[in-house]
Amino acid sequence: MTAKTYRTLCQLCHSNCGLIVQRNASGELSIQGDPDHPMNRGRCCPKVLANTEILDSPDRLKHPLLKTKTGFKRISWDEALTIAADRLGDIRTRFGPLSLVRCTGAPVSYQGRDGFLEFMGAYGSPNLTGVGNLCMAPRMMAFKSVMGVLRAEPDYDHAELVLFWGGNPLGVERFSSYAAHNGLKEIMPRLKARGVRTIVIDPYLSETAKKADEWVRIQPGGDGALGLAMIHVIINEALYDEGFVGSYTSGFERLRDHVQPFTPGWAEEPTGLPASQIEALSRTYAGSKPAVIHEGNGLDMYTSGVNAVRTIAILIGLTGNIDAPGGNVFMPFPQQAALPTRPTPHKDRIGYKRFPLPFHAPFPVVKEALLNGGEGRPRAMIVHHGNPVLIQANERRTRQALEQLDFLMATDIFPTATTQLADLVLPMTSDFEAYGYRAYSSIEGGFLALAQPAADPVGESRSVFEVEYDLARRMNLGQDYPFHDDRTWIEYMIRPSGVSLGRLEAERVVFATKPVQYRKYVTQGFGTPSGKLEFFSGWFESLGADPLPTYALPAGEPLDAKALEAKGCSLLGASRRPSRFVHTKFKNLEKTAKPYPVPLVYMHPLDAAARKIPDGGAVQVTSPQGRITLKARWTEDTTPGLVWIDFGWGNPTDGQANINVLVSDVFLDPLSGGTPNRLFPCEVLPLG
Ligand code: SF4
């Protein structure tokens, strides 16, 4: 074998860092960060090693598998796709196109984002679901309601204050997903050197909080109340940007009247913060111009997450820190094609009447449709690049729901808790075995980067777009398909950016837009119904939702001690992701998982001592939904009464406990359909 060097991407998390992969004469691969890739500039995190471990893992799915009465049996690709085409075709004929659902995981790679999306359009179903209810969809809905766009990214290098709210970017072993021009690990020291004040709002003393100038130890679920009280102070003390508010916003008077009851004194109880601290924080944020707010995933997993983030978007607008240097900015991003090319009516999707705001069907609502039965229930599901059994709240009910399907097809690289339930399992190539691409936003301009295969497909694994097109063709749905494999998919997707695949292959990283231009709203307005930044949301009002953010106790989840005790639970639980892992992945990979072999429950020593639980002791964690066994880890980083439990375990290849056994799927965010994975009642008791 001849030695070769590849320039490619790590697509294990949203950062999609650039990599240099070297293959020696014996075929061994070594990886280093690409110093010329604007996202990571040579850096990469320990997870990057999973890219090569995946190639050699004995757990890999290597052949299509069909479920039989006696277990899974190996079949050929031709048999697998014939079965899939027959079953999906029959279901479409008998129950109509709306009976098919596509369920995906986090779109860390664009193969994950786009796989089977065009197929859904060709089939005629708008029923797309996934993990949006747990990550990003609540924040995107909130930003869109106020600013008309899905994101407003921090411009760290020109800010005078950075407020991290509900996120731990330093602790997740991932660089900024907001601004690709530098990793946050490099940005933090630069902020310190410039004397920029950093504040973290989090119930947990996270890695980011430890490095910040100030930690605001908020009570879990109190973010919306804090946001409303900060708006109250900033308006009543006239700390807002009068010029910006007067010229470029709408609904200020209604917002002003609306927030009068939400005084800092009122917010003391839901936030656990003294009124004086809320007042000081409001004055610091409004008085440090320009300032950015970096909001995090912690805000998504409450049943009041959308309203909490709306208050953040409103704070950004009130202070005029929007699309201005050092504020939250609409960064340039390369244009891409939209899929599916034949979109189906959004209003026909599952759960639209109850949840018209989310862009996709919230998974808990799809689950209800399956469990409630009836004529219109889904009949078939394609799970691509996802693992709903582990990721979604209440594992028992998720399993019951998936068992109602007439046909479940799952694609993956490893057996998972979800592929175990599937009728048909299709082995996929990993990111190092296929072509891929990524579009990035950055202050220097939106750019594209290409991932080229550095290894041959393992076993009979295939890329998702080959499989998808083959299936569509067999079902006579392939006539207008715009691509038939990875390369034609990339070619099609990047065409609107003006960059050709040939150029991307030659240069690997291509800037497709100009550098950031600030204050675009002066000439273009905002993408809201009124064209202004809307404190009073016209979009929410048009769909019957409250046009102004409100605060409610997270639905159904009692926070006070008495109510918790009545449930037999004197603690609150919250999920956390160890930085070694990406969601449910890679617990089975030896090198990647070795430093963190089992999931833990992190508890305050006072809570542990009261229950006679030693550090490292085995415990049973119970909730009204179920019970799991874990090991306890003492930490003073959490608040007494609040325990943090690792999520993402429970696949057949790791054999550990799944936190989502404990989480309720009944209490939903009334706007997003989100579940309370970051706030649920529980009890922890010693085992044995
Ligand atoms: S941060 Fe780590 S896991 Fe994420 S893309 Fe970069 S190297 Fe890969």
The pLDDT score that the predictor gives to residue 578 is 83
pLDDT number for residue 58: 95
Ligand 1 midpoint to CA 17 (Å): 6
**Pair 106, 388: CB distance under 8 Å:** no
CA 348 – CA 370 distance, rounded (Å): 16
CATH superfamily of 152-329+522-542: Dimethylsulfoxide Reductase, domain 2 (3.40.228.10)
Question: In angstroms, what is the span from residue 412 Cα to ligand 1's centroid?
Answer: 20
Place of tokens 């059994």: 389
Task: Please return the burial class of 553, using the count of CB atoms within 10 Å of its CB with bins 0-12, 13-18 and 19+.
Answer: middle
Residue 118: which of 406, 488, 389, 448 has the closest Cα?
Answer: 488
pLDDT averaged per 10 residues in sequence order, the chain, 688 residues? 90 91 91 91 87 95 97 98 98 97 93 97 97 86 94 90 90 58 72 94 93 94 96 98 98 98 96 97 96 89 90 98 96 95 92 93 96 90 96 96 98 97 98 95 92 95 98 96 97 98 96 96 96 96 94 64 76 87 86 89 97 97 94 95 94 93 90 89 91
Distance, in Å, from the CA atom of 656 to the CA atom of 649, rounded to the nearest integer, reads 6
Ligand 1 atom 7, closest CA: 44
How far, in Å, from the CA of 626 to the mean position of ligand 1? 34
Counting ligand 1 atoms within 8 A of each CB, the residue from 48, 108, 170, 173 with the most, and so the one to mutate, is 48
Q: Which atom, in ligand 1's list, is nearest to the CA of 15? A: 5
Centre of ligand 1 from the C-alpha of residue 41, in Å? 12
Q: Which atom of ligand 1 is nearest to the CA of 582?
A: 3
Residues in contact with ligand 1 by the CB-under-6-Å rule are 10, 12-13, 15-17, 40, 44-45, 47-48, 174-175
Q: How far is ligand 1, taken at its centre, from the CA of residue 478, in Å?
A: 35
Contact between 417 and 650 (Cβ < 8 Å): yes
For ligand 1, pick from 8, 9, 44 the residue to mutate: most ligand atoms within 8 Å of CB.
44
Token readout for 469 is 């097109």
* Interhelix angle 395-402/363-372, nearest 10 degrees: 60
- Closest ligand 1 atom number to CA of residue 174: 1
3-state secondary structure of 541: helix
The Å distance, Cα 254 to ligand 1 centre, comes to: 44
Nearest residue (by CA) to ligand 1, atom 2, is: 45
Give the architecture-level CATH label for domain 4-56.
2-Layer Sandwich (3.30)
Task: Give the ligand 1 atom nearest the CA of 51.
Answer: 8
What is the radius of gyration, based on Cα positions, of the chain?
A: 25
Question: How far does residue 106's CA lie from ligand 1's centre (Å)?
Answer: 14
Give the residue from 447, 464, 610 showing the smallest Cα distance to 515. 447
* Residue 472: partners with Cβ closer than 8 Å, 6 or more residues away: 118, 119, 122, 478, 481
Please report, for the chain, the start and end positions of each structural domain, with discontinuous segments joined by +.
Answer: 4-56, 65-134+335-511, 152-329+522-542, 561-686
CB neighbour list of residue 519: distance below 8 Å, 6 or more residues apart: 323, 324
HSE-up (13 A, CA, CB side) for residue 275: 8
CA of 20 to the centre of ligand 1 (A): 13
Ligand 1 atom 4 nearest Cα: 13
Atom of ligand 1 at shortest distance to CA of 13?
Answer: 4
CATH label, 65-134+335-511, candidates 3.20.20.70, 3.30.300.90, 3.40.50.740, 3.30.230.70 = 3.40.50.740
524 HSE (CA, 13 A, CB side): 13
Tokens 């009890």, located at residue: 683
Closest atom of ligand 1 to 40 CA is 6
**Chain centroid, CA 378 distance in Å:** 24
Q: Whose CA is nearest to atom 6 of ligand 1?
A: 17
- 561-686: which CATH topology? Barwin-like endoglucanases (2.40.40)
Residue nearest to ligand 1 atom 5, measured at CA: 16
